[in-house]
Amino acid sequence: MSLVARFKCPICNADVTVAITPELLKHAAERGAVRTLARCPRGHAAVLTIDQYGYIRSALPVYEQTKPDCEITEKAPVSIRAKLTTILEKGPATDADLLLLEKAKAAGWVICV
């Protein structure tokens, strides 16, 4: 069972939870601190510096160059369109949003270039 630590996404300020594994703590203990990449629910990337106690010392933003261009197809049902529109415009806010987007792509409701 992993420990859990929280940080604010340095790009959108969303609350993010990350699992701090025993391996990560071991590496941090050996080196003083360890760096790892984490993503917020909206998909923004951040480099975390974690100390040997599992405390997140810093979360630095990673700005990525491209974002996939997606659109909702006519097949998408009315009940889910509004949600999909929000997810595509603002990025997935929760894990459930992210899963819904993936399933919607598989169902042909969303197409990404």
Partner 1 sequence: MKEVIDNWGLFLVARELSKMIGGSKGLRLFMQYERYKLAVAVQAALECGADCKKPPNEVIALLFDVARRRGVLKGCQPVHVPEPKEPPPQIMTEYFQLIDDVVVNKMCEYVAKPPSDVISEEEALAYYQAFVSAPYYVAFRRAMYNKLAKLYKYSTILDVGAGTQDPLDILAVCEMHNAKCELTALEVDGRLCSDLERLASKHGFNVACGWEQVGKYDIAVVQNILHWATDPVQVLANTRMHARNMFLSQGVIEGSGAVFILTKILGAVRSLSWKEVETLARQAGWKVARRYAKYPDYIALFR
Strand ranges, E, within 9-44? 15-20, 33-39
Residue 95 β-bridge partners: none
Among 8, 27, 35, 83, which residue sits at the site for partner 1 (rule: CB under 8 A)?
A: 83
Within 10 angstroms of residue 60's Cβ, the number of other Cβ atoms is 11
Among 68, 78, 89, 113, which residue sits at the site for partner 1 (rule: CB under 8 A)?
A: 78
**In terms of CB distance, is 66 or 79 closer to partner 1?**
79
Contacts of 60 (CB under 8 A, 6+ apart): 10, 46, 47, 49
Site for partner 1 in 85-104 (CB under 8 A): 94-97, 99-100, 103-104
Looking at residue 30, its amino acid is: E
Among 13, 17, 73, 86, which residue sits at the site for partner 1 (rule: CB under 8 A)?
A: 17
Binding interface with partner 1 (CB under 8 A)? 1-4, 17-19, 77-80, 82-83, 94-97, 99-100, 103-104, 106-109
